[in-house]
Amino acid sequence: MNTIILIFIIFLGGAILTFLAGMLKGILKEVLFLASVFVPVVLFFTNISIGQTFSFQAAGFAFQWGITPLSYVFALIVAGLGLMAAIYAVSAMRNKDNVSFFYFNYILTIMSMLGILFSRDLISFFIFWEIMTWSSYLMVVYQGKDVQTVGIKYFIFSAVGAYAMLMAIVVIYSLTGSMMIDSLIQSFPGFSFNMQLLIPILLLIGFGVKSALMPLHVWAPGAYSHAPMAYSSVFSGALSKMGIYGMVIVMVSLISHIPGGHWFREVIAWLGGITAVMGTLWAIKQDDAKKLLAYSSIGQLGYIIVGVGIGTPLAMMSGLFLAVMHALFKGTLFMVVGAIERQTGTSNLTEVTGLIRKMPWTFLAALFAIIALAGIPPLGGFISKWMLYESLIGSNHYLLVIVIFFSSTAAFLYCYKFLFGFFLGQEETEWSHVKEAPAMMVVPMLILAVSTFVLGVFPGLILNPINEAMQTLGYANTQGHLWELSIIFNEWGNQIAMQPIVYTIIGIFLFFLTFLTIKGYKETRYVTTKDISSSGEVPKEHENLTFSMNFMQPFFRAVEPLMRRQIDKYYTGFANGMEALFDFTRRIYTGNGQTYAMYVVIFVVLLLLFKNIIFG
C-alpha cells in the first residue's frame, strides 16, 4: 500500500480508536495516542521521499497527494513539534476530563496539517484546512472557558478565511478546469487582471487569518491562551505556519506574475511589520503568561510575514528559518507555561514568582527558548533576525527596518518579564511546595530547547532543506556551501564581517547570564512580596507588588496612542450591529397569520406588476 495513504489511514484510525479507547480505563488510550502520532511520523521520516505522489478521483475532482521541498520544510516542523507535544500532552493532560477527546482532536490536527502539506490539489488542501480548523476550534473550547466569545470568534475568523479561500478555489476551478496547484501556477499568468488581483487577495485573506496577520489577528490571543497548553504549543508553533506555507506559495508563485505585484509585497510586508510591533507591544502589557505568549506569537508571525512578503532570497530564507525556529521556541514556551500552570495552578505572572529553584529544568528550557526568541546569538532566533535585517536593508526598506528593530527591542521586555516573573525574584512561601514537572513534560521541552541551540549553531541543518525548497520555488541557489557549517565560525558570505559583533553579543549575554545567576543564588533576600516598602510607603495588605505588576508603565505611557485603538472593538461593534440588525429584520415573521397571508398576496401582486421586467 502506498505510504502516503497509509499515513493518513493510521492517523484517522488511530484517532477514532483512541477516542473509543477513552471509554475504557487504563493507559490504553495513551498508548494508542502516542502510537498513532508516532508511527505515521516515523513512516513520514523513513518512507516518504520528495516527489512521490498518490493520485485518485473522487466526486468528479482529481486528487493528488505528494510532498514538495517546500512542504517538506513545514512538515518537519509539524512532525517534530507534533511528536514532542504529544509526549508532553500525555503527561500534561493526565487526570483531565475527556482526555480521549483531546487526543482525538490532537491527532486530527496533526493529520490535517500533514494533509495540507501533502495536498497537491486545492480540494484536498481545503478539506484538510477545514479539518484543521474545526479540530483546533474544538481544542480552543475544550476547557469550557469563554466558549461563546473566544471560541466563536476563532471560528468566525477561520471560517471567513476558509471561505475566502474556497471562493478563490472555485474561481480557479472555473477558470482552469483543474484543481491542481501546479496547473494554477502555470495558468495564472494568463488570467485576466481582475482575476489576478482577486485570487491572491482571497487566498491571502485565508492564509492571513491563520497566520494572524494584522487586521485578522484578533482571534489569536484568546484562542492561543484558551487551548490546553499542550495543544497551544502545536497551535502557535505549527498550525499558524500553515498560513505561512500558503502565503509563501501565493507570494512567490502567483503575485510575482501580476503586473505591479511588488505593491502587493509592500502591503503584506508592512502589514507584517505592523503586526510585529503591535503584537509585541500588547505582549508586554499582558500579565497572564498565556496571553503574553499569544501576543508574542502574533508578533513573531509578523516577522515571518515581513520576510515572506519582501520576498528577496535572503528575506524568504529568513522568514522560513524563523518559521522553524518559532515553532521550536514558542512550542517550548507554551509547554513551560503549561508545566507551571499544572504545578502551581495559575499562569499569572503577577502571582507566580521565584520558581527557579523549584523547577530548574523547566527554567533551563524557558531560558533557551527566551534567548532564541529574543534573537541573541548563538541561538537560532538571532540568525533569522540577522538575515531579516540584511534583506530589508538590502532591498531598501529602511523604514521597515526601524519598525522591526523597534519591535524586536521591545520584545526583550516581554522576554525579560516572562523569565523574571516566573523564575526569578522572591520566592514566595505560597509556592514553596511546588515541584518540578514530571519527566515526560520536561524532556520534550528540553529537547526542543536544545534543538534551538543546535539549529543556532548549525543552521545548515535546516537551511539546506530551505535552500532546496526555495530553488524549487524559482530562487537561485543561495551559496549553499556556506551553510554547511556553523555560522559563528564562518564568514557570512559576502556580507559584513560579523564575528566581532557576534562575539561581543555573546560576551554581553554571558555576562548578563552570569550576573543574573549569581544574583539569583547569592543576593536574593528571602522576603515575601508583601514586605517590600517602596519609597518609604508601607503598602497596603492587598497590594500586589511583584515584579511583573505594571511592568514598564512609563513606556506604555509613551506608546499609548498606538495601542488605544483596538481593532477588536470594531469587529465586536460590527458583529453586535449585525446581530441587532438581524434581530430586527427577523421581525418580519410577525407571528400574525394574516400578515403572512398579506405577504403572499403582495408577492403575487408585485410579480404581476413587474412581470415584464422579471419574466420578460
Partner 1 sequence: MDDKLFEILEFGVYGASILLILIGLYAVLTKRSLIKIVIGMSIIDGGIHLLLITIGYLKGGTAPIFSPGYEEAAGQMVDPVPQALVLTAIVIGFGVTAVALSLIIRLYRHHHTLEIDEIKRLKW
Partner 2 sequence: MVGSPVLLIAIPLLAAFVIPLIGMIWKELVRIIPGLVLAYMLILSATLLYYVSQNGIIVETIAGWQPPWGINLVFSPLTGFLATLMSALGFLVWLFSYRFKRNVDFEPAKKYFIFLMLLIAGAIGIVITGDIFNQFVFIEITGISAYALTAFYTGRNSAEASFKYLMMGALASSFLLVAIAILYSQLGTLNMADIASKMHTMNPTYKIIALIFFITGIGIEAEIFPLNGWAPDAYTEAPGPVGAAFAGIVVKAGVYAIIRMIFTLFDIPSAYDFLIVIGLITLIVAETSALRQEKLKRMLAYSSIGQMGLVIVAFGIGTHEGVFAALFLMLNHAVIKPLLFFSGSSLVFNSKEKQIAEMNGLGKRMPLMAAFFSLGAFAIVGLPPFAGFWSKLSVLSAAANEGLLLIIVLILIVSVIEIVYYFRVVNRIFFQEYSREKSAAPHRPRVNALVAMFVLAIAILVIGFYPDAVTGILHNASKDLLNTDEYINNVLQLGQSLTR
Partner 3 sequence: MKKFLVILILAVLGFHLFAAFSGLGFGVTRFEKGVKDFYLEKTVSELHVANTVTSIVVNFRGFDTLGEVTVLFLAVSAMGGILYKRRHHAGDRSVLFSSSSIVRSGSKLLFPAIILLGVYIFIHGHLSPGGGFQGGAIIATGFLLMLIAYENFSVSHNTLSYIESFAGIFFVVIGLLGFMNGGTFLQNFLPAGILNNLFSGGVIGIIYVMVGFKVAAELTGLIYTILHEKD
Contact residues for partner 2, defined by CB under 8 A: 57-60, 123, 126-127, 130-131, 133-134, 137, 141-142, 144, 147-148, 151-152, 155-156, 159-160, 163-164, 166-167, 170-171, 173-174, 579, 581-583, 585-586, 588-589, 591, 593-597, 599-604, 607-608, 611-612, 614-616
We find the least distance from the C-beta atom of residue 205 to partner 2, in angstroms, to be 11
Q: How many residues bind partner 3 (CB under 8 A)?
A: 7
Residue 109 CB contacts under 8 Å (≥ 6 apart), including other chains: 132, 135, 136, 139, 231, 234, 239
Using the contact rule CB under 8 A, the part of the chain among 197-205, 431-439, 447-455, 605-613 near partner 3 is 605-613
Cα-Cα-Cα-Cα torsion 74, 77, 80, 82, nearest 10 degrees, comes to -100
614 binds partner 3 (CB under 8 A): no
Long-range contacts of 264-270 (CB under 8 A, 24+ apart): 264/200, 265/309, 265/310, 265/311, 266/309, 267/309, 268/204, 268/213, 268/305, 268/308, 268/309, 269/305, 269/306, 269/309, 269/310, 269/397, 269/400, 270/309, 270/400
Place of cell 506608546: 559
- Rounded to the nearest 5 percent, the helix, strand and coil shares of the chain are 75, 5, 25
Interface with partner 1, residue 606, by CB under 8 A: no
Give the span between the Cα atoms of 572 and 269, in whole angstroms: 26
- 156, exposed or middle or buried, with CB in 10 Å at 0-12, 13-18, 19+? middle
CA separation for the pair 302, 274 (Å, rounded): 7
Cβ atoms of 235 and 112 within 8 Å: the answer is no
Nine-digit cell at 343?
A: 504545578
Min dist CB 587 to partner 3, Å, is 18
Closer CB to partner 3, 501 or 609, in the complex: 609
Instruction: Name the one range near partner 3 by CB under 8 A: 2-10, 112-120, 152-160, 599-607.
Output: 599-607
DSSP state of 288: B
Residues 161-190 that bind partner 1 (CB under 8 A): none
User: Which one of residues 148, 194, 534, 594 is an interface residue with partner 1 (CB under 8 A)?
Assistant: 594
Considering only residues 46, 592, 608, 616, which one is a binding residue for partner 1 as defined by CB under 8 A? 592
596 binds, among partner 3, partner 2, partner 1, none (CB under 5 to 8 A by kind): partner 2
> H or E segment at 119?
none
Would you say 51 or 591 has its CB closer to partner 1? 591
Closer residue to partner 3, CB minimum distance, 439 or 602: 602
Query: Should residue 527 be labelled a site residue for partner 3 when binding is judged by CB under 8 A?
Result: no
- Considering the rule CB under 8 A, would residue 59 count as an interface residue with partner 3? no
Q: Which residues contact 524 (CB under 8 A, 6 or more apart)?
A: 354, 426, 427
Binding flag, residue 500, partner 1 (CB under 8 A): no
- Asked whether position 598 contacts partner 3 by CB under 8 A, the answer is yes
Give the whole-angstrom CA distance, residue 451 versus residue 441: 16
Q: Which does 151 bind (CB under 5 to 8 A by kind): partner 1, partner 3, partner 2, none?
A: partner 2
Letter for the amino acid at 417? K
The verdict on 608 binding partner 3 (CB under 8 A) reads yes
Q: Quick one: cell of 441?
A: 513534560
Q: Kindly tell me which of 58 and 608 has the beta carbon lying closer to partner 1.
A: 608
Residues constituting the chain = 616
Considering only 433, 522, 564, 587, the residue that binds partner 1 (CB under 8 A) is 587
Indicate whether 598 belongs to the interface with partner 1 (CB under 8 A).
yes
To partner 1, the closest distance from the beta carbon of 598 in angstroms equals: 6
Of 183 and 478, CB closest to partner 2? 183
Q: Which is nearer to partner 3, 186 or 590 (CB)?
A: 590
Segment contacting partner 3 by CB under 8 A, of 87-95, 501-509, 528-536, 602-610: 602-610
| Least gap, CB of 604 to partner 3 (angstroms) | 6
Nearer to partner 2, 197 or 505 (CB): 197
Cell numbers linked to 288: 497572564
Kindly state whether residue 601 participates in binding partner 3, applying the rule CB under 8 A.
yes
- DSSP letters, 161-230, are HHHHHHHHHHHHHHHHS--BHHHHHHHGGGS-HHHHHHHHHHHHHHHHHHTT-GGG-THHHHHHHHS-HH
Minimum CB separation from partner 3 for residue 614, in Å? 13
Cα 86 from Cα 473, distance rounded (Å)? 32
**Residue 348 DSSP one-character state:** B
- Residue with Cβ nearer partner 1 (563 or 581): 581
Q: Identify which of residues 56 and 603 has a Cβ nearer to partner 3 in the complex.
A: 603
- 54 sits in which H/E element: strand 53-58
The distance of closest approach from Cβ of residue 40 to partner 2 in the complex, given in angstroms and rounded to an integer, is 18
CA distance 175 to 214: 30
- C-alpha grid cell, residue 286: 499582558
Nearest CB to partner 3, comparing residues 194 and 612: 612
Q: Shortest distance, CB of residue 591 to partner 3, whole angstroms?
A: 17
Q: Does the footprint of partner 1 cover residue 603 (CB under 8 A)?
A: no
Q: How far is CA 487 from CA 114, 379, 466, 615, in A?
A: 31, 11, 16, 73
Tell whether residue 564 is a contact of partner 1 (CB under 8 A). Answer: no
Query: Which of 440, 441, 423, 430 shows the shortest CA–CA distance to 524?
Result: 423
Least distance (Å) from partner 2 to the CB of residue 239? 17
From the CB of 597, what's the least distance to partner 3, in Å? 10
Quickly count: other Cβ atoms within 10 Å of residue 94's Cβ.
14
- Is 582 one of the binding residues for partner 1 (CB under 8 A)? no
Note the residues at the interface with partner 3 (CB under 8 A): 598, 601-602, 604-605, 608-609
Binding site for partner 1 (CB under 8 A): 586-587, 589-594, 597-598, 601
